[in-house]
Structure 1
């Protein structure tokens, strides 16, 4: 597997240009670029400058993070202004991806975004129909850019797609070669504290386009949020088990460390990226994944 860095780890204390410099220095193979940090970068630099960096760097661009879907997107019930804004985000990633050699885009199913807003409202049947419709249309839009869509389940109750089985049913129904999965160790764990990752072995292995690797604080279920993510080496998530299931499936793509931890954002980018590299590389090495 390839050791990858997701910019969420230091998003409030760094910039894209700083992340590129430090990830190259640390030894990461790949970087996942956040759309908000890309937009910020483009206020000071050009797409051509970004492409020039990757032409001379050992660091490779992987997935853009992330496009957050909503149920009405690309339907007759969609709000025109809201649709235009989300499509602009998608096209930005596709256009920049074509220029720099990035071929993956993380797609997150509809969520109830407010942590205090309660569970997602909607049926599994509605979610299935909405996600299949949206992914098919985005697949068509992505194809001219040679862009692949990585559908990411999120296990907590605020998500519309919570399990590997639900995500798999959607991807199989879409049935496009550029639509697959990103599996995230914590997002799977969020569904009832699940440390059994064996369901990954039931999906089409060629559809696993990316993997996100991290642990999380051992807290009660009602306190589990994205802010509890932490680097591998401690915590409640069985990251070894996660890697072993991916390895058994024949997966050889990126293992990208992705945390949203405010504690890390109070550190320096140097501290975050050095520790992100050390802990992720160690986890992969210990599991025979390098």
Structure 2
């Protein structure tokens, strides 16, 4: 099991350059790069070549570009823009060696039939799969545990990925999103584990299902999600890739970025090490 840092965790108190330095210093194996804000900011003063050189000369590596947002059920014009954005992300992924591009389903107040959501998602993901194949990049679909997301449970997302039926299209399994809309543990137990590409670890305050928002997330192991059950199933089924810590907690944005990165690693390690043998080469104490 490899440890990864998702840059949302320091969204308001850091930037890509700092995240890279601190995460590398504190022993993370991977980073998920935010393409909506932190990467463009980085490129104002640096180049993609600079970013590639950093990864080539340090332990930490790029796991994923996060994210291609709202890929399904779009207008023709919006769809064309999504495809062009994806092509650009593929070039970045190739240059820096990122394994995955995370794709997020549409969030909308519009009512869309389940059939239409599935048909659109499958069609677009097959197109993304075709475009990604020559690059050796995989598409990781992240369902979002919110009532207004068109794909908001693990079971629904898994069904879509199964219909796509491509080796380079799988899922992001986010513990918060799994909990937030009441996804079923039986669906995880019955899933083909090879279809889970990335695991996001997080926790949450104990609000009712359907009312949780990203801001309710807390450090892993300090909230209401039964993380031991989830990681027990993942380990039993043979998942042994990256676990990426991702939070959007306003209070945590008030911390010094390095402190947040340290706490994120320690709380993640404390949860995951009960189910996986993880070598932690950098020891520290939470203040």
TM-score by length of 2: 0.91
Distance 1:261 1:234 in 2: 13
How far does residue 70 in structure 1 lie from its aligned partner after superposition?
4.6
Partner of residue 169, structure 1: 159
Q: Deviations over 1:241-285 (max 9, x none)?
A: 111111111011111000111111122111110111111111111
How many equivalent pairs are there?
277
Whether the 8 Å CA contact 2:146–2:152 is kept in 1: the answer is: yes
Distance 1:99 1:142 in 2: 14
Does residue 215 (structure 1) correspond to residue 200 (structure 2)? The answer is: no
Partner of residue 124, structure 1: 114
Counterpart pick for 2:98 among 96, 102, 108: 102
Whether the 8 Å CA contact 2:146–2:181 is kept in 1: the answer is: yes
**SS where residue 286 of structure 1 aligns?**
coil
Whether the 8 Å CA contact 2:23–2:261 is kept in 1: the answer is: yes
Structure 2 stretches lacking a partner, 5+ long: 279-287
Distance 2:100 2:126 in 1: 16
Q: Deviations over 1:46-97 (max 9, x none)?
A: 1111111111111111011111125434xxx412xx3454334322321111
Q: Deviations over 1:18-40 (max 9, x none)?
A: 00000011111111111021111
Does residue 257 (structure 1) correspond to residue 253 (structure 2)? The answer is: no
**SS where residue 48 of structure 1 aligns?**
helix
Distance 1:145 1:214 in 2: 30
Counterpart pick for 2:179 among 175, 178, 189: 189
Say what the alpha-carbon RMSD is for the aligned residues. 1.6
Partner of residue 284, structure 2: none
Structure 1 residues 280 and 144, CA, compared in 2 at 3 Å: closer, same or farther?
Answer: same
Runs of 4+ displaced beyond 6 Å: none
Counterpart pick for 2:225 among 216, 237, 253: 237
Structure 1 residues 124 and 83, CA, compared in 2 at 3 Å: closer, same or farther?
Answer: closer
Structure 1 residues 255 and 289, CA, compared in 2 at 3 Å: closer, same or farther?
Answer: farther
Whether the 8 Å CA contact 2:133–2:168 is kept in 1: the answer is: yes
Distance 2:163 2:207 in 1: 36
Q: Deviations over 1:171-223 (max 9, x none)?
A: 1111111001110001010114x5x5342222222111110001011124454
Distance 2:219 2:92 in 1: 29
**SS where residue 76 of structure 2 aligns?**
coil
Partner of residue 5, structure 2: 5
TM-score by length of 1: 0.90
Whether the 8 Å CA contact 2:73–2:121 is kept in 1: the answer is: no
Structure 1 stretches lacking a partner, 5+ long: none
Whether the 8 Å CA contact 2:153–2:177 is kept in 1: the answer is: no
Whether the 8 Å CA contact 2:71–2:79 is kept in 1: the answer is: no
Partner of residue 59, structure 2: 58
**SS where residue 159 of structure 1 aligns?**
coil
Partner of residue 146, structure 1: 136
Partner of residue 43, structure 1: 44
Distance 1:289 1:95 in 2: 35
